[in-house]
């Protein structure tokens, strides 16, 4: 699951940690501009700079298309740094030279930052407005500092994630509504029909595979929406979608979710699986009470179950 800027902003003391990381790295790259970046939704976001007043045109919060960045050339699979002492003589950057010249970047070193089982978080980089020489020792120290950052980040991340599926957890749901201004939106309460029977018959290992597969499908679906998915526990999921309140749009989303979670491989014994959904909406004009939202959506879910399952109901 991708790591969004909105999630990062919920982490305790993130700014202080990022600043400490850059100051440590500066010891090995004196005179260079250091920055910490995040990859999210095919963009690179500059999270923190070691210096805001430089000859290089980078700024905190800047968002760049990932395929237009040098950092995208880093080999994350092999976890290898990328070192370029003279940008104009580097063939791999032929398509980026004009952009780098406009930013006044003439030398670059970047190391990958990964979390979890290798998911790309972003990069820790040093750049300069002149050609530069980088020692292997300094680059190795940059890698070590990046690893220190990833260890901290993983601990913070675990507080907001469900350990089985990687989706957000209940704590994130409450924290999100407390932290960010409320927009118009809807909450979908999902429960897998037939899951208990399969779990009892084939065992928890099989049940866990189903739960993880359902989570993966929801994540893929949400790439086309403004929202996020939460696993409350067991086979219960929550989807929060913003900027959607019309009944027509909510109906279309609900029907898409029904199809998404009611079509399984019969050879995997999941043909009897489906999903029931309860829906409640909220607006930016009201103070959102998450407990009430969950209660209302749960009541609508109960009605969907009682009417035969594999359907959705709105709270009223």
Residues 111 and 204 both lie in one domain: no
Q: Ramachandran region of residue 175, left (φ > 0), alpha (ψ -120 to 50) or beta?
A: alpha
Going by the DSSP 8-state scheme, the letter that residue 286 receives in this structure is: S
Domain total in the chain: 2
Does the pLDDT at position 271 exceed 70? no
Residues 256 and 188 both lie in one domain: yes
% residues pLDDT > 70 (the chain): 97
From 160, 188, 205, give the residue that closes a domain.
160
Question: What is the pLDDT, as a whole number, of residue 306?
Answer: 96
Least reliable range by pLDDT among 2-16, 132-146, 155-169: 2-16
Q: Evaluate if pTM is beyond 0.85.
A: no
Give me the CATH number covering residue 216.
Answer: 3.30.70.270
Q: Give dist(CA 304, CA 288) in Å, integer.
A: 24
Confirm whether 286 is domain-assigned. yes
From 160, 186, 206, give the residue that closes a domain.
160
Give me the CATH number covering residue 68.
Answer: 3.30.450.40
Residues 221/227, Cβ–Cβ less than 8 Å? no
Does the pLDDT at position 169 exceed 70? yes
Residues 154 and 265 both lie in one domain: no
| 234-249 mean pLDDT | 94
Query: With bands split at pLDDT 50, 70 and 90, how would you rate the model's confidence at 270?
Result: low
Question: What is the Cα Rg of the chain in Å?
Answer: 23
Residues 135 and 271 both lie in one domain: no
Pairing of strands 274-282, 185-193: antiparallel
Does the pLDDT at position 269 exceed 70? no
Q: How does pLDDT run across 128-143, given as a tens digit for each residue?
A: 999 999 999 999 999 9
Q: How does pLDDT run across 61-98, given as a tens digit for each residue?
A: 999 999 999 999 999 999 999 999 999 888 888 889 88
Residue 51 belongs to what domain range? 5-160
Confirm whether 36 is domain-assigned. yes
Residues 110/32, Cβ–Cβ less than 8 Å? no
Question: What is the pLDDT, as a whole number, of residue 158?
Answer: 87
Confirm whether 225 is domain-assigned. yes
- 107: β partners: 128
Phi–psi pair at 12, nearest 5 degrees: -70, 135
Confirm whether 165 is domain-assigned. no
Residues 125 and 191 both lie in one domain: no
Q: How does pLDDT run across 174-231, given as a tens digit for each residue?
A: 999 999 989 999 999 999 999 998 888 888 898 999 999 999 999 999 988 889 999 9
**Token digits of residue 49:** 């700079």
Residues 115 and 150 both lie in one domain: yes
Residues 198 and 273 both lie in one domain: yes
Residues 15/48, Cβ–Cβ less than 8 Å? yes
Q: Give dist(CA 14, CA 48) in Å, integer.
A: 10
From 133, 160, 187, give the residue that closes a domain.
160
Question: What is the pLDDT, as a whole number, of residue 153?
Answer: 84
């Amino acid at each position: 699951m991708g790591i969004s800027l909105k999630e990062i902003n919920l982490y305790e003391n993130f700014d202080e940690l990022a600043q400490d990381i850059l100051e440590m790295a500066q010891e090995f790259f004196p005179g260079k501009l250091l920055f910490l970046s995040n990859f999210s939704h095919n963009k690179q976001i500059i999270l923190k700079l070691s210096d805001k007043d430089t000859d290089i045109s980078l700024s905190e919060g800047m968002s760049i298309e990932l395929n237009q960045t040098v950092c995208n050339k880093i080999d994350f699979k092999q976890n290898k740094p990328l070192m370029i002492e003279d940008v104009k003589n580097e063939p791999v950057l032929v398509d980026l030279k004009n952009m780098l010249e406009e930013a006044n970047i003439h030398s670059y070193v970047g190391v990958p930052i990964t979390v979890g089982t290798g998911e790309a978080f972003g990069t820790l980089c040093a750049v300069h407005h002149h050609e530069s020489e980088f020692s292997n020792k300094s680059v190795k120290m940059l890698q070590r500092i990046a690893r220190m950052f990833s260890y901290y980040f993983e601990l913070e991340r675990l507080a907001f994630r469900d350990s089985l599926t990687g989706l957000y957890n209940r704590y994130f749901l409450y924290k999100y509504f407390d932290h960010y201004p409320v927009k118009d939106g809807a909450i979908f309460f999902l429960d897998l029909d037939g899951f208990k029977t399969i779990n009892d018959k084939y065992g928890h290992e099989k049940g866990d595979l189903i739960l993880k597969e359902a989570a993966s499908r929801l994540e893929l679906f949400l790439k086309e929406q403004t929202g996020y998915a939460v696993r409350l526990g067991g086979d219960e999921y929550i989807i929060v979608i913003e900027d959607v309140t019309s009944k027509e749009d909510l109906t279309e989303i609900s029907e898409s979710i029904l199809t998404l979670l009611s079509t399984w491989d019969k050879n995997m014994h999941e043909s009897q699986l489906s999903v029931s959904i309860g829906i409640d909406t909220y607006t930016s004009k009201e103070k959102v009470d998450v407990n009430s939202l969950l209660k209302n959506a749960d009541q609508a879910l109960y009605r969907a179950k009682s009417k035969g399952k594999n359907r959705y109901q709105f709270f009223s």
